[in-house]
Amino acid sequence: MSTALAKYGTTDLGALRAAQMQLVEDSASSRAQFMKLVEGANQVRILPPWDPKMRSPFYELWLHYIRSSADPQGKGKPVACPLKMRKSKTCVACADVRRRFDTGSPADEQVAKALRSTRRVYANVVNMLDPSKGVQVLDFGTMLYEKFLNRMLGAPSDTGVPDVAALGDISHPELGYTMVIDRKGTKQFDTKYELRAARSPSPIADPAWLTQLHDLSTIVAYRDNDYIRAVLAGEDPVDGEAVFSIGPVGGAVPPPADRDFEDATFE
């Protein structure tokens, strides 16, 4: 075949090199930006909302973790629930969960429980035991979220939670508190958290942290029902790689998954 008349461009390897370096940098920064709670005492400073329009230091997301039937204990692929996030009046993952609960099959029930949407909460924090890492994102579940709110606002009177003095805005850069999160256990059913506050409020150690706040609304890209339907069916229209099929309704019993709910950070 002659190429004499064909028009085509010339690949610039230098430009590709820049793209390659960017990939390395992006993946390093996305890993670095999450703080992991270790067993024992963690010290965190929650930072204020990243945008003057936001009214809470916490950003709530409802996620479905779609696990492959081939790897039911895996992390799964997180997708925001379009229904709970009020992006749509329907959610194909929620519909799949309902269908499976309705069949009465133990295997379906197990898959349904793992696919149910769960609340994840994100906050900009500095790990006060390693402040050199700068501003990171802490993500946690309902259990710890409730403890944060109870410490800030005081526990609602009829919940039986011991009443402690409300601390107010712990995220305030001048009047906020360093919080101590005691973690016991690492698995879904044995992880417990206790939350304490430093004895007195303090200003943040480095004002530059306020310029490093992450836009928490961009952590999970919103996908529509067509995308979720494709992932449930075992495709990944965006990454085009792993097969995430959760298996058909009425399928075989997968081994039980011991999910690390409170720590389901994804990269």
* Burial label, 87 (beta-carbon count in 10 A; 0-12, 13-18, 19+): middle
Structure tokens, 4: 């004499």
State CA 30 to chain mean position distance.
12
Question: Between vectors from CA 78 to CA 23 and to CA 264, what angle results, nearest 5°?
Answer: 90
Kindly calculate the radius of gyration of the chain based on its CA atoms and give it in whole angstroms.
22
Give the shortest CB-90-to-Zn ion separation in angstroms: 9
Considering the complex, state which of residue 81 and residue 125 has its C-beta at the smaller distance from Zn ion.
Answer: 81
Considering the complex, state which of residue 7 and residue 86 has its C-beta at the smaller distance from Zn ion.
Answer: 86
First to last CA, the chain: 46
Considering the complex, state which of residue 81 and residue 135 has its C-beta at the smaller distance from Zn ion.
Answer: 81
Residue indicated by tokens 């295997």: 107
Considering the complex, state which of residue 47 and residue 83 has its C-beta at the smaller distance from Zn ion.
Answer: 83
Give the shortest CB-230-to-Zn ion separation in angstroms: 15
Give the shortest CB-247-to-Zn ion separation in angstroms: 18
Give the shortest CB-78-to-Zn ion separation in angstroms: 12
Give the shortest CB-225-to-Zn ion separation in angstroms: 9
Residues at the interface with Zn ion (CB under 5 A)? 81, 83, 91, 93-94, 117
Cα separation, 181 vs 150, whole angstroms: 14
State CA 216 to chain mean position distance.
10
Considering the complex, state which of residue 120 and residue 183 has its C-beta at the smaller distance from Zn ion.
Answer: 120
